[in-house]
């Protein structure tokens, strides 16, 4: 019992209001400073300053500078996802959908400066991709809304001591994920910086995939985490419907992860399929739970 109390204490400190507020202030400061530096680099480039950069895709237009603060905000969202992880599978997957939506929005800010304002609008690959992403984010935003509304209809259940132990086990996973998150972010940023400065052997192809930076590995980590939590849940429930629901959510996360390996239309299609799959799984689970409750009465 003492071990579980230590985990609870460590989690309560690590994700306390004070620590969350401090981290939020740090992220906002870094986002603001990063935004100003990014803008400064863009204007310096306009005055023909030479940069030792292997790629200047993000230095073509001031609108591209919005990409930088969004990147810091996404790291904070990843931190919040780890914070919500012990609550429930549905809360965790909902946060994943919100993160992937922000990733798509960030990508739009990167691509907007490359729109070609020509008469033949739809002959440009960038123009078509922008419309695909804009349409995709609207659909995605609506699907997230439907998922949250469906989640609210889940029956409220009492938390037994056995379930409390399961929640504490998930809190331990969250504690372990925090240093992993920052190591992953630091390594991803270092690799990208080396490729941009042409310090390492990485070429332009790596730099071009900046929108997939960090989150490609982060969603892979989430898949392994969700599988581990699913295995832990076998000790606390044998209900077929709940196990299928949780497995379905893992499949949804896998589809989100695969979207980072896809380009163009297929990228947003994979994201939408993943979210639709998670939504349908939750709706079917709710129907089963409601039907079981009625039969019990």
Other Cβ atoms within 10 Å of 212 Cβ, number: 20
List, for residues 125-147, the tens digit of each pLDDT value: 777 888 888 999 999 999 999 99
Please say whether the beta carbons of 141 and 147 come within 8 A. Answer: no
How far apart, in whole angstroms, are the C-alpha atoms of residue 255 and residue 161?
A: 34
Which residue range forms the structural domain that includes residue 207?
A: 2-296
Give φ, ψ of 213 to 5 degrees: -60, 135
Give me the mean pLDDT over the 8-14 stretch: 89
Q: What span, in angstroms and rounded, lies between the C-alpha atoms of 205 and 53? A: 14
Cα angle for residues 43, 36, 263 (degrees, 5° grid): 80
- Between CA 178 and CA 156 the distance in angstroms is 29
The reported pLDDT for the residue numbered 203 is 41
Residue 1 reports pLDDT greater than 50 = yes
Q: Please state the domain count of the chain.
A: 1
Average pLDDT over residues 161-185: 86
Q: Check residue 207 and give its pLDDT.
A: 41
pLDDT at 29 over 50: yes
How far is Cα 269 from Cα 273, in angstroms, rounded to an integer?
Answer: 6
Q: Which two tokens stand for residue 140?
A: 């995605």
Confidence (pLDDT) at 200: 45
pLDDT at res. 202? 41
SS3 call for 54: coil
Instruction: Evaluate if residue 151 carries a pLDDT over 70.
Output: yes
What is the pLDDT, as a whole number, of residue 206? 41
Instruction: Tell me the pLDDT band of 196, cut-offs 50, 70 and 90.
Output: low
Distance from the Cα of residue 129 to its chain's centroid: 21
Contacts of 188 (CB under 8 A, 6+ apart): 213, 214, 217
Q: How far apart are CA 295 and CA 292, in angstroms?
A: 5
Residue 251 scores a pLDDT above 70: yes
Which of 121, 117, 62, 103 lies closest to 216 in space, CA to CA? Answer: 103
Kindly compute the dihedral angle of the four CA atoms of residues 35, 41, 42, 47, in this order, to the nearest 10 degrees.
150
For residues 219, 32, 37 and 69, what is the CA-based torsion angle, rounded to 10 degrees? Answer: 30
Q: What is the pLDDT of residue 176?
A: 92
Q: Is the pTM of this model over 0.75?
A: yes
- pLDDT tens digit sequence for 221-248: 888 998 888 888 877 766 788 888 989 9
């Amino acid at each position: 019992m003492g071990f579980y109390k230590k985990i609870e204490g460590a989690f309560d400190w690590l994700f306390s209001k004070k620590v969350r507020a401090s981290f939020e202030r740090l992220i906002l400061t870094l986002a603001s400073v990063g935004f100003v530096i990014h803008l400064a680099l863009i204007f310096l480039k306009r005055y023909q300053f030479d940069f030792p950069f292997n790629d200047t895709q993000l230095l073509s237009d001031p609108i591209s500078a919005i990409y930088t603060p969004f990147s810091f905000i996404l790291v904070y969202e990843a931190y919040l996802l780890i914070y919500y992880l012990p609550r429930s599978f549905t809360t965790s997957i909902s946060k994943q959908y919100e993160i992937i939506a922000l990733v798509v929005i960030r990508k739009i800010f990167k691509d907007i400066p490359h729109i070609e304002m020509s008469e033949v609008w739809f002959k440009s690959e960038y123009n078509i991709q922008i419309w695909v992403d804009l349409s995709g984010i609207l659909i995605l935003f609506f699907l997230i809304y439907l998922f949250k509304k469906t989640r609210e209809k889940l029956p409220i259940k009492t938390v037994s001591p056995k379930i409390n132990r399961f929640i504490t086990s998930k809190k331990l996973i969250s504690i372990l994920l925090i240093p992993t998150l920052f190591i992953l972010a630091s390594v991803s940023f270092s690799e990208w910086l080396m490729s941009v400065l042409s310090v390492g052997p990485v070429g332009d192809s790596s730099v071009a995939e900046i929108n997939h930076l960090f989150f490609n590995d982060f969603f892979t980590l989430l898949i392994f985490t969700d599988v581990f939590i699913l295995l832990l849940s076998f000790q606390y429930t044998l209900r077929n419907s709940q196990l299928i629901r949780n497995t379905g959510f893992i499949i949804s996360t896998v589809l989100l992860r695969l979207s980072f390996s896809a380009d163009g239309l297929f990228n947003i299609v994979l994201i939408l399929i993943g979210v639709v799959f998670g939504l349908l799984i939750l709706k079917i689970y709710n129907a089963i739970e409601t039907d079981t409750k009625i039969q019990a009465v």
